[in-house]
A and B are shown apart, each in its own frame.
Chain A
Amino acid sequence: MDAQTWTYILVILTFGIYIYIGYASRVKDTKGFYVAGQGVPAIANGAATAADWMSAASFISMAGLISVLGFDGSIYLMGWTGGYVLLALLLAPYLRKFGKYTVPDFVGDRYYSKTARGVAAIAAVFVSLTYVAGQMRGVGVVFSRFLGLDITWGVVLGMVIVAFFAVLGGMKGITWTQVAQYVVLIIAYLIPAVAIAVILTGNPIPQLSLVFSDITGKLNQIQIDLGFREYTEPFANRKPIDVFMITVALMIGTAGLPHVIVRFYTVPNVRAARYSAGWALLFIALLYTTAPAVAVFARYNLLNTLHGARVVSTETVAGREILNLQDAQGRDIEWASSWQRTGLISFVNQDGQISMQANDKGTTFAHATIDNDIIVLSTPEVARLPAFVIALVAAGGLAAALSTASGLLLVISSAFSHDIYYRLINPNASEGLRLLVGRIVIFLGVIAAGYFGINPPGFVAEVVAFAFGLAAASFFPIIVLGIFDKRANDKGAIAGMLVGLIFTMVMILMMQSVKIFGTAEPLMGPFFGITAQGIGTIGAILNFAVTLIVSRATAAPPQEIQDLVESVRVPRGAGSAAAH
């Protein structure tokens, strides 16, 4: 059977599993809908969190991004994992003890303020909506690349699946499908990685073969030969201060993302919240420590195979000139032809040969363009794995995109239906009405996400900087202070959140104005060497400072709030604390 048939089989099979799980875990009350009845075991929540967290970008694009950035790719590796230490030590146990349904719930109750709750709810919706558009786009891209389906139909199909288990099962349905999606995506990621590790280094464990084989040295040499900087040279692509600030922003942004935090509300007690964070990061690290190995292997293989490859024939397919290549040993490089057809790779014919030489600046290829996504997507073919594995990668990419999308949609739903509708607009709403509103909002969320997936704003990549920057600058400081600083009060938190949010938003808009507003030049260059991705760190520092100062200049929180802080610091009673 060919790859396309296998892809159809695996996609239908996995989607069937997700639908079945969604149906089997349908819920009847808001506690089940928002926090899965707080009965999710620590390991299962860890797997769900890992799938929730690892998006289409982590699965498809990250290894390629690292292979281009070399050493500086550490911003994503450390930045997107280090936040879990902060979550486990500073946030998750206490928020689980608090025991309510949403992040704005904690902000609103702890800072005894409807304004604070409203600001937090709007920030949660904004952060999640920007993020979810990219996921639906990812679903469409996987469908179009692997099945030749129109992107629109791919997105619509993804929407139908997510809508089914999210509307019916809420957090409970989402949690258990995410566990299944984690299994699919990690198997799909590891099989090609192990195969290529064996081919290039003879060691089947990618993490070990990266460190103990000579592959990195060989890559460094070939990079120099072609006019690039050494792969392991630090700060070849970004300034040290920028690397530092981006890493901080991604770490505290991760710890402040509502769809990640809310996962820790679903476990039975405080102890489970701590272990669950450990399991989550272990499951994430399984993929995240494989990615830098894949990045090295694939880049070495790409440069080594393609540089000097002979052009044996050319053909024109759908207006694109395809160069059919043979390597130094005279073997056909079939995958290069098939990926040229998708437009993700292209070469300039250099007198019957391919050149992977760097341009004058040593930043990119002079006579070729290679899309970052190729690194992961082409690995199965490069390693000559059976068609079945290619299909598995497609199913894995879909699992990564759908699991993240569903977690984000739940945050959007709960922020509207619980925080804005029930807590601010209609406090007398019955249980049944609130559940209905939650389901309607999640359905509308799916439609909105699908719309943006089909008609993406031209700056999808830039909005991710937004999501992390805003989460870092808004939620992280005031939640940490809400737990560790008893003196922090409503006025401090509102002022801190607004200053952090507005500063970060204005800075990103000005730095990214070329792509967002279409200005000829950015309205502002890097801020003391810090780019848009890292600016959330400054926003977070401002938030911390303003909250601390304003809180101390105004009245202390009432006694009952100080009692609440005392109570979240102690694990006992988490089971009953959530009872209304």
Chain B
Amino acid sequence: MATGRKVAVVEGGEEKAIAYWKANVRLIFILLAIWALVSYVAGIILARPLVTINLGQVPLSFWFAHQGSMITFVVLIFVYAKLMDGIDNKFDVHE
């Protein structure tokens, strides 16, 4: 059985483990806010008002709904992975 007890906990004790988790959760919140902004806000909630503004030759909300949101999603994941590399190293929990 692989339970938590066998696994190395954060060196530097509980406080450091809490700080690491806080940094992670904070980053997740920021990135998910952007995630919701480009999809639910720009592509759905503001779909009607943003239809009057053009990006290139298509309405802005249409662009977000059919292209911009997906491009942002890809970028968000790589940004998360990259920033977590730094956070892992800072708290010395990387492999």
Q: Do A and B interact with each other, yes or no?
A: yes
Are B74 and A278 closer than 8 Å at their CB atoms? yes
A74-B66, A85-B35 known; A566 vs B84 contact (CB < 8 Å) = no
B24 neighbours in A (Cβ, 8 Å): 569
* Binding stretch for chain B, among A141-149, A210-218, A335-343, A385-393: A210-218
A100-B2, A216-B58, A566-B17 known; A233 vs B77 contact (CB < 8 Å) = no
User: Which residues of chain B from 16 to 68 have any CB-CB distance to chain A below 8 Å in the complex?
Assistant: 17, 20-21, 24-25, 28, 31-32, 35, 39-40, 43-45, 47-48, 51, 55-59, 61-63, 65-67
- Contact of A207 (CB < 8 Å), options: B51, B67, B81: B67
Please indicate which of the listed interface residues B9, B10, B35, B67 has the most CB atoms of chain A within 10 Å of its own CB. Answer: B67
State the majority secondary structure of interface residues on B: helix
- 18 A-B pairs whose Cβ atoms sit less than 8 Å apart in the complex: A74-B43, A77-B66, A78-B43, A78-B69, A84-B73, A98-B2, A210-B58, A211-B63, A247-B40, A271-B85, A281-B74, A282-B74, A285-B71, A563-B4, A567-B9, A569-B24, A570-B20, A570-B93
How distant is the Cα of A571 from the Cα of B58 in the complex, in angstroms?
Answer: 43
Are B77 and A213 closer than 8 Å at their CB atoms? no
Are B70 and A285 closer than 8 Å at their CB atoms? yes
Residues of A within 8 A of B (CB): 66, 71, 73-74, 77-78, 81-82, 84-85, 88-90, 93, 98-100, 207, 210-214, 216-217, 232-235, 240, 243-244, 247, 269-271, 274-275, 277-278, 281-282, 285, 288-289, 292, 484, 560, 562-580
Q: Would you give the 0/1 interface string for B70-82, flagging 1 where the beta carbon is closer than 8 Å to chain A?
A: 1101101110110
A88-B81, A270-B95 known; A78 vs B58 contact (CB < 8 Å) = no
- Contacts A74-B69, A81-B69 aside, 5 further interface pairs with beta carbons under 8 A come to A66-B66, A88-B81, A89-B28, A210-B58, A217-B57
A211 neighbours in B (Cβ, 8 Å): 55-58, 63, 67
Q: How far is the CB of A158 from chain B (nearest CB, A)?
A: 30
- Contact of B7 (CB < 8 Å), options: A66, A234, A244, A573: A573
Are A577 and B6 closer than 8 Å at their CB atoms? yes
Are A82 and B44 closer than 8 Å at their CB atoms? no
A207-B67, A271-B95 known; A563 vs B5 contact (CB < 8 Å) = yes
Interface size class of B (residues with CB under 8 A): 35 or more
Are B4 and A579 closer than 8 Å at their CB atoms? no
Q: How far is the CB of B27 from chain A (nearest CB, A)?
A: 8
Are A247 and B39 closer than 8 Å at their CB atoms? yes
A100 neighbours in B (Cβ, 8 Å): 2
Between A and B, how many residue pairs show CB distances below 8 Å?
A: 179
Residues of B within 8 A of A (CB): 1-10, 17, 20-21, 24-25, 28, 31-32, 35, 39-40, 43-45, 47-48, 51, 55-59, 61-63, 65-67, 69-71, 73-74, 76-78, 80-81, 84-85, 88, 93-95
